[in-house]
Structure 1
């Protein structure tokens, strides 16, 4: 099985690195100095579960130069998904499986807008990780896990083939019976902590324990729940309280990647998180005042970063 990783940041670097380190065939699609260091020294992963260095089968910034893929993991930022899907067309076989793993509620839809739906599984990951330096990935929180499933909730043989690759790599993974619900649950968590975290510059623990910011977390999550229900997602009635409890169990000093991007002046996933909820609310006639406030306050910084 040949796995191609599109985007070798915290997510793609960790999970692609683990698959490669288990002796499986992996191509890493990266760029710039990050790519050059990987080619020269291999990919170094510093992890709370143990450090390792792996030398993948292939590392390149030219997708067309690699062999056709059995599995493609798209690990870019949310706003880059559609472009990544266009680039992978030359490496698709009849039975290639594509799994987008970035945060966001509509990444599978973005991929399906570019390639045939038959290739696409829904997916998400749970991990705190980042690029520490060119060629070096730092995994610093959460037991890494990938959750994936068929968009139509069916049970297929290809799910077991993907699971076999992930099992051999040695990281937690699970086949979802309703990947849409799982994606929206993760989306609720990451959007709630990202927006208020970026505004306050506070850690997840600080935001959670302060009564006022805790209330904003709950309001943000409730609006996301209302949008999900309006879109027909089968979210459980107690999902907001469950997500808040989950937030309370996160490492006290942790921060979300969107928050870090905004604080460091980089383009972020603001439009794909709080902005997505605001836009869907406008389409569906669902009020989203808290997400609108957060989105509006962060937009000037996002605009500046994209210039």
Structure 2
């Protein structure tokens, strides 16, 4: 039996990882890679294949099938989801025809509650935890570009009785050429990434500045550290295994990035597109309320961004 891997969402993240998987296994008799995309992007892939521009060069790959109709795929063994978090519920509904008794779902999208949300919708399906560090973008229909030379995927699952499948997927991804790491404490890894994503997406959007500018102004810098301290209290209440060093880690990450780099949420706000405000900022307030924790900075930032979103 062939292993069927479906990539749902072919933006900067899914396009890069899906492209690498398709390129590696294009002529492999054991593994089939399917793309789910839409619109002009899908049409370009169907006509010319997916072009992936990497730091080391570029290639064009043709998946087993690219489609916007998942019933053409049949039951998947593994589904990697890399949509925007605000599209997650609709994506799961669309994917249901691909989900069988032994299907595994791996979400690779921003947010802290993606696995929980999917499990709520598909209670009988094995859903792993995952997060990724990558700088990727959709340059044009059918063209993905990766920059920054980081392609790191962390993933894991509480139930290690599925160790064979976890190890299999780790090897499949490594063989495709990116840095896949199976984690025995995946929730801590996801929380640590969320500290960076939530704080920087919220504040670059709120102040309308780049990553670097969050650190060059006293008000912005103190807002950042205050926000991170609020998040630390929420994370501890949620049982996350993180300590206060995560705050210094976020600041170091910002210092290491090019000054003018910004968050995708900030870019979406500037372009007037839908944003991940609720899943990156609002979720913290929601979790804080659950535990009776006061988050005045998050509340102020969220209210400001809600106003901006409706302006």
- TM-score, length basis structure 1: 0.93
Q: Counterpart in 2 of 1:134?
A: 141
Q: CA deviation at 1:167?
A: 1.0
* Displaced runs of 4 or more, over 4 A: 152-155
Q: Counterpart in 2 of 1:211?
A: 218
Distance of 1:49 and 1:265 partners within structure 2: 33
Change (3 A) 1:214 1:52: farther
Is 1:22 aligned with 2:24? yes
Q: Counterpart in 2 of 1:300?
A: 307
Q: Which has the larger displacement, 35-44 or 195-204? A: 195-204
Q: Counterpart in 1 of 2:207?
A: 200
Q: Counterpart in 1 of 2:29?
A: none
Q: CA deviation at 1:199?
A: 2.1
Q: Counterpart in 1 of 2:275?
A: 268
List runs of 5+ in structure 2 lacking aligned partners: 27-31
**Partner SS state of residue 94, structure 1:** coil
Q: Report how many aligned residue pairs link the two structures.
A: 304
Q: CA deviation at 1:70?
A: 1.6
Distance of 1:88 and 1:282 partners within structure 2: 32
Identify the match of residue 10 of structure 1 among 1, 9, 12. 12
**Partner SS state of residue 173, structure 1:** strand
List runs of 5+ in structure 1 lacking aligned partners: none
Identify the match of residue 189 of structure 1 among 189, 196, 211. 196
Q: Which has the larger displacement, 133-142 or 36-45? A: 133-142
Map Cα deviations across residues 263-297 of structure 1 (whole Å, 9 max, x no partner). 11000000111111112222221111111111111
Q: Counterpart in 2 of 1:103?
A: 110
Q: Counterpart in 2 of 1:231?
A: 238
Is 1:258 aligned with 2:265? yes
Q: Counterpart in 1 of 2:177?
A: 170
Q: Which has the larger displacement, 153-162 or 17-26? A: 153-162
Q: Which has the larger displacement, 238-247 or 257-266? A: 238-247
Distance of 2:50 and 2:251 partners within structure 1: 35
Q: Counterpart in 1 of 2:57?
A: 50
Map Cα deviations across residues 142-193 of structure 1 (whole Å, 9 max, x no partner). 5111100003577711110111110111001101111111111111101111
Q: Counterpart in 2 of 1:32?
A: 39
Q: Which has the larger displacement, 279-288 or 122-131? A: 279-288
- Preserved contact between residue 81 and residue 107 of structure 2 (Cα < 8 Å): yes
Distance of 1:42 and 1:277 partners within structure 2: 40
Map Cα deviations across residues 14-73 of structure 1 (whole Å, 9 max, x no partner). 110110111252111111111111111111122224222111111001111113212101
Distance of 1:165 and 1:125 partners within structure 2: 16
- Preserved contact between residue 128 and residue 157 of structure 2 (Cα < 8 Å): yes
- Taking only aligned residues, the RMSD between alpha carbons, in angstroms, comes to 1.7
Q: Which has the larger displacement, 146-155 or 233-242? A: 146-155
Map Cα deviations across residues 106-132 of structure 1 (whole Å, 9 max, x no partner). 000011001135511000010111211
Q: CA deviation at 1:237?
A: 3.7
Q: Which has the larger displacement, 249-258 or 286-295? A: 249-258
- TM-score, length basis structure 2: 0.92
Identify the match of residue 66 of structure 2 among 59, 84, 96. 59
Identify the match of residue 81 of structure 2 among 74, 84, 103. 74
Map Cα deviations across residues 200-258 of structure 1 (whole Å, 9 max, x no partner). 22221222333332222222222111111111222234222222222222232211111
